[in-house]
Structure 1
């Protein structure tokens, strides 16, 4: 089982529980995939399905039963401010990429992280439709289906494989046009970042707000795979704040990350 080899880590037991829960959550999500699950909108443009709710219940039951003293933050659970007083918090997204999930596209993930004092220390991101299980433990590296992974050594923006919303780079407000890149479109933010961690993409970027549950697990994947993930001004992201929200993200190997920051760090986002 992923994580059990990391017996020297103080987070090894929690990591093993997390991996088991995320794997089971992925199997449950997959049972609804392409099966026309009931779905509705929480607000305009923000879909949720019965599968999201079912996976949320499964993750909550397994993780909070294992560690009842930890805080809990999930996209599909009403926020409980008591998490702010807990040094360790489970941060989960039952299905990240619900739009893709409902359209029958295999670009969704089940995500979970253990956050301690604002930073992820154990993480799992599972795409059950493609059977890609990414996981990481602080100081122990990142793995895909049990094998070590690392970010690429790509050092130039031109020609890089960028996972992002393509039209963003064509906006007329950019003072200097972006060079041509291979743009990869994936609905799940966590999956975008996992692809960077696994070397299947060179970089990922978003200049619109994302939530803790979109990013926390994949943040650890990227860093443990030798990359960097920050806001667009270069700041490290911290989780389990009151807002639990971040205005932007930039992820890549160290050199490419620096090149991307040079282009975007002067932006003032609304």
Structure 2
């Protein structure tokens, strides 16, 4: 290592710094510009920064980024950074929406060990360094974080089974962190994701004491040859049994 910071602090710092870059790109982009170009500028700007910063701070480590080529040498590496330079490109391009994020996670020898999720437009970074305490249980219906733009076809059935109310929002990281900050009680996804979509949110959520798993209750496994990791559950620990049972009945 060539950087004295701990891995956890490095993850938090890089997520924050990438977020600052994204805020600048967003602010400087012409108001009448094509949203597709803003998405591309954000993806590339954040990715380039993270790759350069990790190469300098941890030159021996492998990196898996949504925006980069997948170097299969990572499969034999002991340490792999899994990053999503811009989670929620659609929301990023829809100014002034704030439900987008930056993900930086570290996988070591078979498990996630550190992670950070920055929500730059909100001025918030959640990380494994000092995860916040879980808020008190919500006194009311279970609140389910869901996609604001692509709700799954099975959602009404799950809502009925859990007697839940919906909390629509953007990126996967924001949804997962909404359980951590008390905006929602559970996030269930079964529509297709990749390792970079969930690695950092899962690392932070688990460090804070939340339940994290596949929809069948099995562990989430990272740094696989096939980076598709299509489903997950993040929820308050006391709700895990109830949520898993309801999801099992869906046959996902």
Shift of 1:39: 5.6
Question: How is 1:186-225 mapped onto 2 (pairs within 5 angstroms)?
Answer: 186-225=169-208
Structure 1: 5+ residue runs without aligned partners? 1-10, 42-46, 143-147
Cα distance change, pair 208–175 in 1 and its aligned pair in 2 (3 A):
closer
Cα distance change, pair 123–151 in 1 and its aligned pair in 2 (3 A):
farther
Tell me which residue corresponds to 2:142.
160
Shift of 1:81: 0.5
Distance in 1 of aligned mates of 2:239 and 2:228: 25
Distance in 1 of aligned mates of 2:135 and 2:5: 23
Q: 2:82 aligns with which of 83, 91, 96?
A: 91
* Mean Cα deviation higher: 92-101 or 174-183: 174-183
Distance in 1 of aligned mates of 2:239 and 2:11: 31
Equivalent residues of 1:151, 1:253 under 8 A apart: no
Distance in 1 of aligned mates of 2:155 and 2:57: 47
| Greater helix content | 2
Cα distance change, pair 62–175 in 1 and its aligned pair in 2 (3 A):
closer
Distance in 2 of aligned mates of 1:68 and 1:203: 37
1:17 aligns with 2:10: yes
Shift of 1:151: 5.5
Q: 2:245 aligns with which of 240, 258, 262?
A: 262
Tell me which residue corresponds to 2:231.
248
Equivalent residues of 1:84, 1:240 under 8 A apart: yes
Shift of 1:262: 0.3
Tell me which residue corresponds to 1:110.
102
Alignment length (residue pairs): 243
Shift of 1:67: 1.0
TM-score by length of 2: 0.87
Tell me which residue corresponds to 1:8.
none
Cα distance change, pair 87–63 in 1 and its aligned pair in 2 (3 A):
same
Equivalent residues of 1:22, 1:125 under 8 A apart: yes
